[in-house]
Amino acid sequence: MRRSGLKPLLVLFAHRRLFVAAGFSVAKLLDTFSVVKQPDVPDTDTSRFTFLLFDNGASSGGVNVTLTPLEFRPDDGEHDDPGSAFAIDMSRRISVSKYKAPKPVIATKAFREDGEQITSFEQLRPSTDGVDGNTQPRRVYLVADGLEFVWPFISVGYNQTISLKVVQPAAGEGAPAVVLESMSER
């Protein structure tokens, strides 16, 4: 919900110098502007998505994370790519591995279980590919700089449908998506 009165108060402070410089007092300023209560508008940033966060290629030891759209990309201004900023921020929550790299290792990419590289908050929306169409939390894998995404081994016989944004079926448009099946742990 919007906090009524907050925005007009900020506007008043933003314009205070202008009116003081013109010889208006704060009392005159308050008389000049009337604070109008804005109607209650539903806050669109209240959706939260929970997902499991893993190191690249891992299938155990995941951490549950719940984020809002505002938490997806901290607005620190350091990174132009929201996906990279997300991966860097998530690197604080788990141990990211890279062979012979000094700790801590910072991820620069994050991928969903279906192979899509994460660039937006909406990609964290729970999957509807669960049993009987039930939703299930996404699995998110952090990938260190210079490495490629490694498909995790979940269990023998596990089938993972690959996103059509990652691999197009060889039979063309309308063909079923590619499915990756785990045959063995080795």
Note the pTM of the prediction, 2 decimals.
Answer: 0.70
Q: Indicate the SS3 state at residue 21.
A: helix
Instruction: Look at 121 and 10; give whichever has higher pLDDT.
Output: 121
In this prediction, residues 70-98 reach a mean pLDDT of 82
Q: What is the pLDDT of residues 124-174, one digit of tens each?
A: 999 887 667 788 999 999 999 999 999 999 999 999 999 989 988 887 778
Alpha-helical regions (H) of the chain: 6-21, 26-32, 69-72, 82-90
Q: How confident is the model at residue 97 (pLDDT cuts 50, 70, 90)?
A: very high
Q: Supply the pLDDT for residue 131.
A: 67
- Say yes or no to pLDDT of 101 above 50: yes
Q: Is the pLDDT of residue 7 over 70?
A: no
Q: Is the pLDDT of residue 8 over 70?
A: no
Q: Is the pLDDT of residue 106 over 60?
A: yes
In this prediction, residue 46 carries a pLDDT of 53
| Section 113-117 average pLDDT | 96
pLDDT the model gives residue 37: 36
Q: Given this model, what pLDDT does residue 114 score? A: 95
Using CB atoms within 10 Å of the CB of residue 153, give its burial: 0 to 12 exposed, 13 to 18 middle, 19+ buried.
middle
Cβ proximity of 138 and 127 under 8 Å: yes
CA dist., res. 100 & res. 98, Å (int): 6
pLDDT tens digit string along 33-77? 333 333 443 444 458 999 999 999 999 999 999 999 988 865 455
Q: What is the pLDDT of residue 130?
A: 67
- Side by side, the strands of the sheet bearing 49-55 are 63-67, 49-55, 138-144, 107-112
Q: In which band, very low, low, confident or very high, does the pLDDT at 88 lie, cut at 50, 70 and 90? A: very high
CA distances from 172 to 14, 76, 169, 175 (A): 57, 42, 6, 6
